[in-house]
C-alpha cells in the first residue's frame, strides 16, 4: 500500500502540452521508494467504483493506519474530475474530515460517491488526500459513466448459439467492437443508435467470396447515457433460406463485410 500512497504524478506530453497523466495511464503514479520505506501512515492502494449508474449513491470504506511512534492528526479531503478535460465534479464526500490516530491505530472512513448531479459520459478519476504535518498520502479513485449492451443469440427453440458478434454504429457504419465466437457478448459503449449482429459465416474458396451461412441476425437499438440494454437475437425472427441465391439486395449491407456481396449457400437464416 505504501508504494501507491506515496507515488507521484507522471507528466506526459498531450498535444504539445505537459499535464498530469490520468489514473488510466499511470496507475498510482511514479513510486518513491524512499518515502514508502519511511512511511508514517498508509491507506488503501486505490478505490474503484467501476461502471456506475446515474442518480445513485455508492459507498466504500477505506482505512488509514498510523505507522509512526507518535499520535497523528490527519486531515482528509476528496475530489473527483472528468479525465477528458479536468473539470471538477462535487460527487465524492466522506463521513469525516479528520482522524486522530495513536501509534499503530487504524481508522475507518466511509467514502460516498453521489451521481445524482449532471455528469458527462466517460471516465473519471480522483484522489483522497490524507495530510499530517509536512507529509501526506493519497489514494487514487476511479469510476466511469458508460453504457453496456448484453446480447446473446438463440435458435428457434430458444437454445443458445455460438456466434461471432459485431457492434455497428447505425449512423456511420463503423464497427467499434466485435467478439469472436461465444455464447454471449458484452459491449461497453457510448450512448447512441447501433446495430448489433450475430453471425455464423464461413467464407469458401477465397478470394472467390463464396460463403456458407448458418445465420446472420441483427437488431437495431438505441442506448442512453449509462444505460444497460439486454438483447436476445433469435433465429425465429429471421428468414430461412431455402435455395441458393445471389439476390442479396433485400438484405442489410451493414452485415459482415461491405465487399462480401456473395452468393449465399442454400441453408441458413438472414434477418429481414
pLDDT of residue 241: 57
**Residues 49, 113: contact at Cβ < 8 Å?**
yes
CA 18 to CA 143: how far, in whole Å?
24
Closest to 41 (Cα-Cα) out of 125, 102, 92: 102
The neighbouring-strand residues paired with 212 are 202
Mean pLDDT over each residue of the chain, to the nearest integer: 79
**Residues 125, 81: contact at Cβ < 8 Å?**
yes
pLDDT of residue 238: 76
pLDDT over 60 at 209, yes or no = no
pLDDT over 60 at 211, yes or no = no
Contacts of 198 (CB under 8 A, 6+ apart): 151, 152, 153, 161, 163, 164, 165, 185, 215, 216, 217, 218, 233
pLDDT of residue 187: 96
- Percent of the chain residues topping a pLDDT of 70: 68
pLDDT of residue 146: 95
Q: How confident is the model at residue 45 (pLDDT cuts 50, 70, 90)?
A: confident
96: exposed, middle or buried (Cβ count in 10 Å: 0-12, 13-18, 19+):
exposed
pLDDT of residue 18: 52
**Residues 71, 98: contact at Cβ < 8 Å?**
no
Count CB neighbours of 139 within 10 A: 26
**Residues 220, 170: contact at Cβ < 8 Å?**
yes
| Cα atoms in the 13 Å half-sphere on the side-chain side of 184 | 10
| Helical segments of the chain, H only | 2-5, 23-26, 33-37
Amino acid at each position: 500500500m505504501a508504494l501507491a500512497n506515496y507515488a507521484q504524478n507522471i507528466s506526459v506530453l498531450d498535444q504539445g502540452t505537459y499535464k498530469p497523466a490520468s489514473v488510466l495511464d499511470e496507475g498510482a503514479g511514479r513510486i518513491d521508494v524512499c518515502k514508502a520505506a519511511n512511511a508514517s501512515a498508509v491507506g488503501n492502494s486505490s478505490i474503484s467504483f467501476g461502471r456506475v449508474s446515474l442518480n445513485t449513491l455508492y459507498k466504500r470504506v477505506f482505512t488509514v493506519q498510523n505507522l509512526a511512534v507518535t499520535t497523528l492528526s490527519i486531515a482528509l479531503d476528496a475530489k473527483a474530475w472528468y479525465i477528458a478535460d479536468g473539470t471538477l465534479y462535487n460527487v465524492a464526500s466522506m463521513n469525516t474530515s479528520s482522524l486522530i490516530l495513536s501509534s499503530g491505530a487504524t481508522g475507518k472512513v466511509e467514502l460516498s460517491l453521489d451521481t445524482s448531479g449532471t455528469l458527462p459520459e466517460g471516465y473519471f478519476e480522483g484522489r483522497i488526500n490524507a495530510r499530517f504535518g509536512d507529509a501526506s498520502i493519497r489514494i487514487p479513485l476511479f469510476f466511469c459513466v458508460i453504457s453496456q449492451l448484453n446480447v446473446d443469440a438463440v435458435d428457434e427453440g430458444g437454445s443458445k448459439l455460438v456466434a461471432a458478434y459485431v457492434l455497428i454504429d447505425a449512423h456511420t457504419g463503423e464497427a467499434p467492437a466485435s467478439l469472436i465466437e461465444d455464447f454471449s457478448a458484452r459491449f461497453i459503449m457510448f450512448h447512441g443508435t447501433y446495430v448489433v449482429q450475430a453471425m455464423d459465416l464461413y467464407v469458401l474458396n477465397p478470394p472467390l467470396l463464396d460463403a456458407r451461412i448458418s445465420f446472420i441476425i441483427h437488431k437495431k437499438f438505441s442506448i442512453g447515457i449509462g444505460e444497460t440494454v439486454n438483447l436476445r437475437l433469435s433465429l425465429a425472427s429471421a428468414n430461412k433460406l431455402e435455395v441458393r441465391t445471389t439476390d442479396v439486395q433485400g438484405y442489410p449491407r451493414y452485415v459482415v463485410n461491405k465487399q462480401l456481396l456473395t452468393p449465399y449457400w442454400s441453408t441458413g437464416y438472414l434477418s429481414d
